[in-house]
């Protein structure tokens, strides 16, 4: 249930902010007017955002939602504050007159991929001149943020980069990713040195850098702005995954986890705290073997399995299923296919599509991606996906 919180009414609350005090904001509900109790934090957020939004909005949380209690006061009397941590009931949508939108928070890796074309791989002690050098933006996190934003979802990337990496923030922002939760820290940006020889074979040296070094407080401050119903995306290329998932669940977020790169202990730790587990076919096999189980007996609300050219399937705990065929295309580069799929799927769900419709759109986006070389750059935008689906 969404209600519009008018700017006019925010301004009417002319009191100065005092942390710990409560303020009232008048909410214009589609059918009735209510006063909801908001905290000083809510108002700070409102005021912070009002600079770039025409209409602020409030979400009235569903009855029975306990973590972020709200109280309405239809009589208009001041209610006594129970506590100052009482809650971000008030959220904002930027842009004018748009419906309040849910958002995706992607706590994910950012990598710089350095590709060197070499005549052969260097032997111990050898100094070798590379014949060509190309740099690209990668990392499962950055790819998924790019996909979700290109798909049209409000997408915040939470992550860390080191010095001289501002171009990454610029590029993500060009794709529509909101970048203010990307921190600059005293650690090299995660990167890969990829040597590619004449036959196309490669060797890779990977340094996780800032992806594993970023502090947990980064996630806490980003999620302080999230609201129930938003989505947290996670992959296995960062620190703090299970803690981030646990925090997000306490805030009422959906939590989607890509078990990639696959590591059974990472999956084990996070499994109790996620709502959707995303796997490719290889990871699904690895997981079932490692836990000696089947996908159907895994105790997760939703599971998504992508199967390359064979498409993808989704199932939930209640037995609902959906399936999407992959499109018949000439694949030239399948890197980032899974990330494109998941970013689009999460965006589709976030924007209110059914699982089946979200799968269809994600399948089209991923199939289109594999026809193009590159990763995040090569992820198609929503308009391209729509016209591909219309063909
Ligand atoms: N050869 C292909 N032809 C068409 N679509 C593909 C192909 N490979 C991947 N895709 C699309 O990308 C999705 C993800 O691919 P998959 O290989 O399962 O993930 P990952 O990149 O994690 O290995 C598939 O579900 C499909 O929609
Ligand atoms: Mg694959």
The CATH number of the domain holding residue 259 is 3.40.1190.20
The tokens describing 27, both together, are: 């909410």
Query: Which residue has its alpha carbon closest to ligand 1 atom 15?
Result: 308
Query: To test ligand 1's pocket by mutation, which of 331, 366, 369, 378 has the most ligand atoms within 8 angstroms of CB?
Result: 366
Domain assignment of residue 236, yes or no: yes
Instruction: Kindly state if the Cβ of 341 falls inside 6 Å of ligand 1.
Output: yes
pLDDT beneath 70: ranges in the chain? 1-100
Alpha helices (runs of H) in the chain, residue ranges in sequence order = 7-12, 40-50, 140-151, 166-174, 210-213, 216-223, 241-250, 264-270, 281-291, 337-350, 355-369, 382-390
Residue 152 belongs to domain spanning: 103-110+143-189+215-390
Contact 234, 256 (CB under 8 A): yes
- Interval between CA 322 and ligand 2 midpoint (Å): 20
- Quick one: pLDDT at residue 200? 87
Q: Which ligand has the minimum distance to the alpha carbon of residue 258?
A: 1
338 CB under 6 A from ligand 1? Answer: yes
Among 57, 92, 127, residue at a domain's last position? 92
**Which residue in this structure is represented by tokens 């016209």?**
387
189 CB within 6 A, ligand 1: no
Which residue lies with its CA nearest to atom 10 of ligand 1? 308
| Ligand that comes closest to the CA of residue 311 | 1
Which one of the ligands is nearest to 306 CA?
1
- Judged by its nearest atom, the ligand closest to the C-alpha of residue 326 is 1
State the burial class of residue 119 (Cβ atoms within 10 Å of its Cβ: 0-12, 13-18, 19+).
exposed
243, 306: one domain: yes
Same domain? For 267 and 352 the reply is yes
Is residue 326 situated within a structural domain?
Answer: yes
Ligand nearest to the CA of 309: 1
Ligand 1 within 6 A of CB of 372: no
Same structural domain, 270 and 372: yes
Q: Whose CA is nearest to atom 22 of ligand 1?
A: 338
pLDDT at 308: 96
Is 228 within the bounds of a domain? yes
Q: Is the CB–ligand 1 distance for residue 335 below 6 Å?
A: no
* Same-domain pairing of 13 and 82: yes
Percentages of the chain per state (helix, strand, coil), in multiples of 5: 35, 25, 40
Same domain, 360 and 226: yes
Do 82 and 154 fall into the same domain?
A: no
**Contact call for residues 37 and 83 (beta carbons, < 8 A):** no
17 lies in some domain:
yes
Q: What pTM, to 2 d.p., does this model score?
A: 0.78
Q: Tell me the CA end-to-end span of the chain in Å, nearest whole number.
A: 36
Domains of the chain: total? 2
- Are both 165 and 292 inside the same structural domain? yes
Nearest-atom index, ligand 1, CA of 327: 4
- Domain identity same for 150 and 269: yes
* In-domain check, residue 203: no
Question: Does residue 239's CB lie within 6 angstroms of at least one atom of ligand 1?
Answer: no
For ligand 1, atom 8, the nearest C-alpha belongs to: 308
Cis peptide before 261 (omega within 30 of 0): yes
Answer with the one of 31, 57, 92 that is the final residue of a domain.
Answer: 92
247 & 361 share domain: yes
Nearest Cα neighbor of 58 from 42, 47, 71 is 42
Mapped onto helix, strand or coil, the DSSP state of residue 314 is strand
Determine whether the shortest distance from the Cβ of 143 to ligand 1 is under 6 A.
no
With respect to residue 129, please indicate whether it lies within any of the assigned structural domains.
Answer: no
pLDDT at 80: 32
3-state class (DSSP) for residue 370 = coil
Q: How far is 279 from 288, CA to CA, in rounded Å? A: 11
pLDDT of amino acid 42: 52
Return the best residue to mutate from 370, 375, 378, 380 for the ligand 1 pocket (most ligand atoms within 8 A of CB): 370
289-to-271, 284, 294, 312, 368 alpha-carbon distances in Å: 16, 9, 8, 20, 32
Instruction: Look at residue 23 and tell me if it is in a domain.
Output: yes
- Are residues 226 and 371 both part of a single domain? yes
pLDDT at residue 95, rounded to an integer: 30
Question: Do residues 79 and 163 share a domain?
Answer: no
Domain identity same for 75 and 155: no
Q: Is residue 331 within 6 Å of ligand 1 at its C-beta?
A: yes
Residue nearest to atom 21 of ligand 1 (CA): 338
263 phi and psi angles, rounded to 5 deg: -150, 115
CB 91, CB 102: distance < 8 Å: no
In a domain, 115, yes or no: no
Looking at the CA of residue 364, tell me the nearest atom of ligand 1.
Answer: 27
């Amino acid at each position: 249930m969404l209600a519009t919180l008018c700017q006019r009414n925010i301004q009417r609350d002319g009191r100065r902010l005092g942390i710990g005090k409560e303020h009232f904001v008048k909410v214009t509900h589609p059918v009735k007017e209510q006063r909801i109790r908001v905290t000083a934090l809510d108002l700070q957020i409102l005021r912070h955002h009002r600079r770039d939004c025409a209409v602020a909005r409030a979400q009235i949380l569903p009855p029975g939602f306990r973590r972020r209690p709200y109280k309405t006061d239809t009589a208009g009397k001041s209610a006594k504050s129970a506590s100052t941590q009482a809650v971000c009931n008030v959220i904002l949508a930027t842009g004018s007159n748009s419906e309040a939108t849910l958002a995706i928070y992607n706590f994910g890796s950012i990598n710089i991929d350095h590709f060197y074309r070499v005549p052969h791989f260097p032997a111990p002690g050898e100094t070798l001149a590379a014949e060509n050098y190309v740099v690209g933006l990668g990392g499962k996190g950055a790819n998924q943020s790019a996909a979700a934003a290109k798909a049209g979802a409000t997408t915040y990337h939470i992550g860390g980069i080191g010095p001289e990496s501002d171009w990454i923030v610029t590029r993500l922002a060009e794709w529509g990713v909101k970048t203010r939760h990307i921190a600059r820290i005293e650690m090299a940006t995660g990167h890969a040195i990829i040597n590619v020889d004449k036959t196309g074979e490669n060797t890779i040296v990977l340094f996780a850098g800032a992806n594993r070094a970023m502090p947990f407080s980064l996630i806490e401050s980003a999620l302080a702005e999230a609201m129930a119903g938003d989505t947290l995306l996670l992959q296995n290329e960062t620190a703090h995954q299970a803690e981030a998932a646990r925090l997000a669940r306490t805030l009422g977020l959906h939590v989607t986890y890509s078990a990639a790169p696959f590591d059974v202990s990472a999956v084990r730790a996070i499994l109790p705290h996620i709502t959707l587990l995303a796997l490719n076919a290889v990871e699904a096999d690895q997981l079932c073997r490692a836990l000696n189980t089947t996908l159907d007996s895994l105790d997760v609300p939703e599971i998504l399995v992508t199967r390359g050219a064979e498409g993808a399937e989704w199932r939930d705990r209640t037995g609902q299923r959906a399936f999407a065929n992959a499109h018949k295309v000439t694949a030239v580069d399948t890197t980032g296919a899974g990330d494109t799929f998941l970013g689009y799927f999460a965006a589709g769900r976030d924007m209110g599509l059914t699982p089946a419709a979200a799968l269809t759109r994600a399948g089209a986006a991923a199939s289109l991606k594999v026809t193009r070389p590159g990763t995040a750059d090569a992820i198609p935008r929503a308009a391209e996906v729509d016209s591909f689906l219309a063909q």
